[in-house]
Structure 1
Amino acid sequence: MPLRLPPLPALRFFEAAGRHQSFKLAAAELNVTPSAISHGIVGLEQSLGVELFVREPRGISLTAAGADYLSYVSEAFSLIAIGTQRLPNHRANRPIALSCAPTLASRWLLPRLGAFRSRWPDANITVDTSHRQVGFPVDGFDFAIRLSRAPVAGTAWTRLFGERLVPVCSPAYLDNLRNGHGHLDLRRATLIHVNSASEDWQAWLDGVAVEGDPVDGDPVDLSDGLRVDTIQLAFEAASMGLGVALGRRPLMDRDLASGALVEACPQTIASANAYWLVSAQNADSAAHRPELLDFKQWLLGEAKQFANPSGSEATELPHPDR
């Protein structure tokens, strides 16, 4: 006798909502309305006779039964996705799918993709710069590049390179920051803040103090300034002479090389974060899609020169649960 399964669309709604801990984010990922997600999960709960989520004014959370059920549903969808990827016709013309933050994609990845295409002209690549969380392998991505302090639960993580933080501005703006003795005075600057950044001016000031080279004079006021929501916008504002942004090397190396931006201070601080390549594939993926191994090795080679100040190679770490 065949097993009776709950409606598959409702299970898809549940898996996305459970992964995001949000009906709204699940709806955005699946291109439906939050109301459709909510109604679908209510129907699933009624069908199962179990409450899967706790609804609260500030959001939702999985019940104990819901968390347990999510592990089985997620594994089932993962198996379906893996099986689909292994079908010969499905693999034939499938592009390499990469999720990457927009600033890193435009400033570091895209300028290098031409070299990869010249070596592997038959390999197609899809770059997704949306900010949504990626579920491997359910969402169909092969890789993601993520900024993180350390690996998190997922699949294999390979460190690409870290960032170095340094104040940057336009050459003309830098001239206006110098006092009567020709010394730089950051207290006179309009600081450009990035609301979405995990590390901003306070991190740089703390790092400068730890390294024993504090900024001269009274403390820099971090309450004022220009606030933007992306790193890219901060760089553009700085190049237009609107203030001093906290540069992130190597993302703005081309701006420094071209002279569009200059270092406002000589002190550079190592960020606590690093860029990591997250792989969606299991250990035997190279036998089925060798282009994935080619792309990974090429990307690691490109990142090697930025891996760390000593120039050592990228480090691959296993899943934290293994």
Structure 2
Amino acid sequence: MPLRLPPLPALRFFEAAGRHQSFKLAAAELNVTPSAVSHGIVGLEEALGVELFVREPRGISLTATGADYLSYVSEAFSLIAIGTQRLPNHRANRPIALSCAPTFASRWLLPRLPLFRARWPKVNVTVDTSHRQVGFPVDGFDFAIRLSRAPVAGSAWTRLFGEQLVPVCSPGYLESLRDVQGTPLLSNATLIHVNAASEDWQTWLEATGAEHVDPDAGLRVDTIQLAFEAASMGLGVALGRRPLVNRDLESGALVQAAFNTVNSATAYWLVSAENADRRPELLDFRQWILAEAAQFSCDTSVDAAAAQ
């Protein structure tokens, strides 16, 4: 007798909603409405005779039964994805799929991609910058670049490089901060904060011992990109993150507002899918991006030594 399975579309809704802990985020990932996800999961719960989620005004959470069931469903989808990828000649010429943050993509990755294209002109790359959790191998990505203090269990993580924190502002704004001796004073500056940043002004101020600077006052924005743009417009001093701010410093659009550079506790990591060693173009891309990262690490080491 064949196994009787729940409706597969409903299982896909459940897996995405359970992973995101959100019907809305699951709907965005699957290109459906949140209502469709909600109704699909209600139908699944009725078919199974169990409650998978706790619905509360502030959001949803998995029940103990739902969390246990999610582990089985996620593993099942992963096995299907892996089996499909291992089929002979399955999408042999598909693009390399990479997920990363938009600011990292525009300021570090994209300027270097022409070098990769010059060496491998027939290999296409797809860059996804949506703010969503990537599931390997279900979501079809080959690589992801993530900012984290340490690798996360369950995937292959390789460290690329760390960030260096340095205050930056426009040249005109720097002049407005100078005292009678010509020394720029951060205590006179409007600090530009990034709400989502794991390390911001508090980290830099504690590491450098800077005094008379309020770490909470100032302008707040949602992204690092907006912080850099606000600084270039003369709205205050942003905490620059090398390598993301290097282009602005090299062009002169931004200048250092202080010479103290602090190494961040977080780093950029290349996360690889399980099958990343089975396609030659994936191996080439991985080796290329690691070589680019190593070159950046060497460059920043020289810069740091020269600044001392």
Both structures adopt the same fold (TM-score exceeding 0.5): yes
Corresponding residue SS for 2:91: helix
Describe the superposition over 1:108-166 as per-residue Cα deviations: whole angstroms up to 9, x where unpaired: 00000000011111111000011111111101100000001111233110000000100
Cα contact 1:23–1:34 (8 A) shared by 2: yes
Q: Which residue of 1 aligns with 2:305?
A: none
Q: Report deviation, 1:307.
A: 4.0
Q: Which residue of 2 aligns with 1:67?
A: 67
Matches for 1:116-131 after TM superposition, within 5 Å: 116-131=116-131
Q: Which residue of 1 aligns with 2:226?
A: 233
Q: Which residue of 1 aligns with 2:208?
A: 208
Cα contact 2:205–2:215 (8 A) shared by 1: no
Question: Matches of 2:106 and 2:214 in 1, distance apart?
Answer: 32
Q: Report deviation, 1:298.
A: 0.4
TM-score normalized with structure 1 length: 0.90
- Kindly indicate whether residue 255 of structure 2 is the aligned counterpart of residue 265 of structure 1: no
Corresponding residue SS for 1:266: coil
Question: Matches of 1:127 and 1:258 in 2, distance apart?
Answer: 26
Q: Which residue of 1 aligns with 2:143?
A: 143
Question: Matches of 1:50 and 1:250 in 2, distance apart?
Answer: 50
Question: Matches of 2:27 and 2:283 in 1, distance apart?
Answer: 33
Corresponding residue SS for 2:277: helix
Question: Matches of 1:52 and 1:241 in 2, distance apart?
Answer: 51
Describe the superposition over 1:221-263 as per-residue Cα deviations: whole angstroms up to 9, x where unpaired: 2343222111011111111222111000011111111111111
Q: Which residue of 2 aligns with 1:320?
A: none
Q: Which residue of 1 aligns with 2:85?
A: 85
Q: Which residue of 1 aligns with 2:169?
A: 169
Where structure 2 has 5 or more consecutive residues not aligned to the other structure, the ranges are 303-308
Matches for 1:18-167 after TM superposition, within 5 Å: 18-167=18-167
Question: Matches of 2:104 and 2:216 in 1, distance apart?
Answer: 28
Whichever residue aligns with residue 187 of structure 2, its letter is R
Question: Matches of 1:160 and 1:191 in 2, distance apart?
Answer: 29
Question: Matches of 1:195 and 1:64 in 2, distance apart?
Answer: 33
Cα contact 1:162–1:306 (8 A) shared by 2: no
Question: Matches of 1:174 and 1:184 in 2, distance apart?
Answer: 7
Whichever residue aligns with residue 291 of structure 1, its letter is E
Matches for 1:242-281 after TM superposition, within 5 Å: 242-281=235-274
Which is worse superposed, 45-54 or 109-118? 45-54
Describe the superposition over 1:146-193 as per-residue Cα deviations: whole angstroms up to 9, x where unpaired: 001111233110000000100001111111110111122112111111
Cα contact 1:160–1:306 (8 A) shared by 2: no
Q: Which residue of 1 aligns with 2:277?
A: 286
Describe the superposition over 1:27-70 as per-residue Cα deviations: whole angstroms up to 9, x where unpaired: 11111121211111111111111111122222222122211111
Q: Report deviation, 1:305.
A: 2.9
- Kindly indicate whether residue 302 of structure 2 is the aligned counterpart of residue 301 of structure 1: no
Q: What is the identity percentage for the equivalent residue pairs of Structure 1 and Structure 2?
A: 81
Corresponding residue SS for 1:286: coil
Q: Which residue of 1 aligns with 2:215?
A: 222
